[in-house]
């Protein structure tokens, strides 16, 4: 298929959507197999003509998809599709970038790196006041879960209280940054859907109870272990939701 012929596989996009719609069209072509791994994209000029947008919009779309790991821009050679670039994990990262957000899976990986350390240091440094703050968030989460409500706010407060109990201002600041990112629509929607499946809300609550008990006992090793297991469980559930999504379904809506 010639360069222009390949570009015909895409639709012209609405000008109001600009680069994000260009990225969506390119992404759709990759997922449909129009551009197999290792194949080059049509030239920037050809894509701009086909989409009826400026070359700057095409360039920005390619930049976003390169950042997501879907495309590989080779100076002096062209832009190529990366092997595995159509995986649900990578597609989710691209969709998040198009929305100006962060991939929920990237976020949970960052949390898995930080939060076990917060729990470990909290077990060593917590005061009675810290324990009351953690317990209050936990009790609020229990009540909301029992009533069938959305415990996201109480869940976040629990993790913030654990970080504060570490008495490490850097860990606390990093945790606050992660909680801010957890307010992004894509994370909120995916976490809400994940929590609503089966007994996940109760399972997450029980894991929080275990973290609280370990911190209360001053057991640093146990606190780190149970928090790490909790983060691993969340990541596994999100990946399961992505893998069970129907073909063609938005990976941000498991």
pLDDT, tens only, 195-234: 666 688 999 999 999 999 999 999 999 999 999 999 999 9
pLDDT at 142: 96
Of the candidates 226, 183, 200, 205, the one whose C-alpha atom is nearest the C-alpha of residue 139 is 205
Taking the C-alpha atoms of residue 76 and residue 83, their distance in angstroms, rounded to an integer, is 20
Q: Which residues of the chain have pLDDT under 50?
A: 14-16, 246-254
pLDDT, position 138: 98
Q: Which domains does the chain have, with CATH numbers?
A: 3-86 (1.10.10.10), 104-244 (1.20.120.530)
Residue-level pLDDT at 15:
47
Q: Is the pTM of this model over 0.85?
A: no
| C-beta of residue 168 within 8 angstroms of C-beta of residue 114 | no
- E strand or H helix at 78: strand 78-81
């Amino acid at each position: 298929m010639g360069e222009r012929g390949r570009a015909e596989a895409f639709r012209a996009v609405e000008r109001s959507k600009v680069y994000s719609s260009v990225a969506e069209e390119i992404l759709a072509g990759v997922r449909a197999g129009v551009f197999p791994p290792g194949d080059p994209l049509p030239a920037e000029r050809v894509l701009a003509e086909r989409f009826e947008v400026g070359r700057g919009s095409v360039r920005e779309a390619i930049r976003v998809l390169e950042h997501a790991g879907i495309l590989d821009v080779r100076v002096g050679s062209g832009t190529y599709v990366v092997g595995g670039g159509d995986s649900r994990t990578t597609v989710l990262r691209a969709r998040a970038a198009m929305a100006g957000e962060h991939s929920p899976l990237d976020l949970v990986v960052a949390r898995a790196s930080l939060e076990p350390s917060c729990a470990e240091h909290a077990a060593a440094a917590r005061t009675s006041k810290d324990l009351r703050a953690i317990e209050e968030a936990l009790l609020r989460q229990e009540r909301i879960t029992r009533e069938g409500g959305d415990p996201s706010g109480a869940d976040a407060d629990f993790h913030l209280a654990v970080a504060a109990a570490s008495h490490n201002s850097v860990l606390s600041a990093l945790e606050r940054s992660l909680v801010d990112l957890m307010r992004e629509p894509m994370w909120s929607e995916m976490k809400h859907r994940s929590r609503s499946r089966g007994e996940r809300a109760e399972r997450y609550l029980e894991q929080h109870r275990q973290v609280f008990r370990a911190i209360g006992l001053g057991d640093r090793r146990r606190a780190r272990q149970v928090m790490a297991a909790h983060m691993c469980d969340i990541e596994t559930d999100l990946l399961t939701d992505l893998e069970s999504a129907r073909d063609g379904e938005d990976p941000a809506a498991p």
